[in-house]
Every structure is written in C-alpha cells, then in structure tokens.
Structure 1
C-alpha cells in the first residue's frame, strides 16, 4: 500500500477574491479625467450603478490623486445625488484582458467639476485628507455593496482660492443582483 494515493486527494488553491472575480470577468478598473475644483467650487467622481443594471456593485479599491501643492478634504458618500452634470468616463477596462470578447461593465464611472453645494440625500460615510502631490489609496475588499440605483461618490471639497487638479480611480466587481426575499436576520 502506498503512503499517499494521489487519486484520493483533491488539490485546493486559495486565491484572493479580486483575482477570482477578475478570472470570472467581473472585475473592472478605471479612473476619471482630471477634475478641477477650487475657489469655492467642488468636484466629485464616483461609481454609479444604474437602476436597470441587474448587478450589485462591490467597491474593492479607490485612489485619489492630488496634483496640487495644497491638501484637500475628500468626503466618501453612499447613495447621494451629487450636484452638477455628470460626465461618464471612458477610462474603464476589465482587469482580465485575456477574455474574448472582453466583458463590459454595467456600473459607470461618473464625475463633475466646478460644482456648487454638497450632495443631496445619501450618507456621508467618512472623510479623508489628501496630502499635496500624492495619491491616497484605500483597499476595501468589496465590503461596500450597492444595489441597482446605488452609488459610491468621492466628493472633493474646495480648500482655498487655488485651483486644484485631481482624479479618482476605482477597482470594483459586479455580480448578478442578489435576490432578496426578506430580512437577513
């Protein structure tokens, strides 16, 4: 009798969830164009999950790049209505470019610059200070989840009379909408 019978063992490999989602064609990355704000006007960039998308959005990571010599504050909002006319970014790609045909995300990256006021509705979940000439990075591991109609918005607050240039980038995955029939508890 052999000590190890290879037919009786199954190989198990643990891989990080973002890699798994990428292999499945569900992980996407992208960024806004430069967003200008300052002199009392704000800007924003975010992930917008349209009402008819039929997917849940899982925010995995985001970055905020500050090209100026001044720090500024960024507010992270869940499900707000941000001011201004949104522009849809074309700087989006699936993380797995080995697939054919390439998957297309249903979630969009939107942004706006030189807007007045603050977002309406939603919840300002937390704030971050973005140092000058730097990139702030946050890995969220997909724990921020937004159903169709939801959004994850990074609101960039005007710090001074100076004009600031920044951009925000995201990594996210999409999964078919979870069928909810009752309370989770």
Structure 2
C-alpha cells in the first residue's frame, strides 16, 4: 500500500531560485573614505522607469580601518544626487550565457547632505575597526521604481577610514506580487 522507497525532499530558498533564473545580483561600491567631516554613502537604487521591484536580500558593511564607523540605513523616496555608479555588479548565476543585466544600480558618493533627501532613517549600526557587519533581509525590503535604500558611513577621526558596502538582491517585474 505504501511505497518502501525513501522520499527525497529538497528545500530551495527563494534567493537560490532567483539565482537559477538569472534574477539575483550582487555587487559593491568602490572604496569609501569617511571622516568626521565627510559622510560617505552607498545605495541600492531602483531607477524611476525600471519596470521592476528590487527585493533586498543582504548587505555587508566592511570596515578596513582602525576606527569604529557608524552606519545609518535610510529608506529613500527620492534618489541621491551626484552619485557614481558602481561597475562592480554581476549576476549570481555565472553559468548563464548571455549574462542577465540588472535594472537596479549600486551608487556611492561622499559629502552627503541628508537634508536634501526624502529619507527615513530606520537603523543605525556600529562597525568595529577591521571588521564586517552583515544582515540578511530575505526580500523583506522591497524597493519600487524611483526609490533607494541608502547606507551612510561616518568616522570620528579626521583621517580617511577605508570601507566598502556590498549588496545582494533579486528583481521581479512590477505587478508580479
């Protein structure tokens, strides 16, 4: 009546499935150098006419200096001005040919004036010297077109504190969910 064969169960996470589909991307900013008078930033940006939603999966804040850094996470309903676009972005599925190209962008910059942004600070983190802080969001943070999630970095020192911000996300056409 019941089969005598063991049952196989496979548990695939959503990021894994999105990677198989060529919809998962990751990348990082160039080196940032915050000081006590220079608030640097990195953001995952969804351009206004992208046609997709970005599902934020993971961030990694790497402090390469001997100073503690403070990072503030902001949800932005306006995009930062004068940022540089990172070219250090790739699909996570390296077996796909041709490679898929993300709509989302990683941008970064320095001397951020937060008063010029429509942003809501949602979290503050301390990144100890020579360490990395990361967090998985598993797609709970969703970035619509014309929006961004921005991370600021500041240092208490007057000399540059080298650091890098990395992001992982997947993309779905608007209206899918």
Name the TM-score, length of structure 1 as normaliser.
Answer: 0.87
In the other structure, the counterpart of 2:148 is 151
Local SS of the residue matching 1:151: strand
In the other structure, the counterpart of 2:127 is 130
2:117 paired with 1:118: no
Could you list the runs of 5+ residues in structure 2 that have no partner in the other structure? none
Contact 1:82 1:118 in 2 (8 A): no
Name the TM-score, length of structure 2 as normaliser.
Answer: 0.90
For structure 1, which segment, 47-56 or 155-164, has the greater mean C-alpha deviation from structure 2 after superposition? 155-164
Gap change, CA 1:83 and 1:144, over 3 Å in 2: closer
Cα distance in 1 between the residues matched to 2:112 and 2:95: 42
Q: Of residues 71, 82, 87 in structure 1, which corresponds to 2:84? A: 87
Local SS of the residue matching 1:46: strand
Cα distance in 2 between the residues matched to 1:84 and 1:52: 17
Could you list the runs of 5+ residues in structure 1 that have no partner in the other structure? 181-185
Q: Of residues 90, 104, 112 in structure 2, which corresponds to 1:107? A: 104
Looking at CA atoms only, which structure, 1 or 2, has the larger radius of gyration?
A: 1
For structure 1, which segment, 146-155 or 83-92, has the greater mean C-alpha deviation from structure 2 after superposition? 83-92
Deviation at 1:82, TM superposition (A): 6.4
2:39 paired with 1:42: yes
Deviation at 1:13, TM superposition (A): 2.6
Deviation at 1:118, TM superposition (A): 2.1
Cα distance in 2 between the residues matched to 1:169 and 1:175: 20
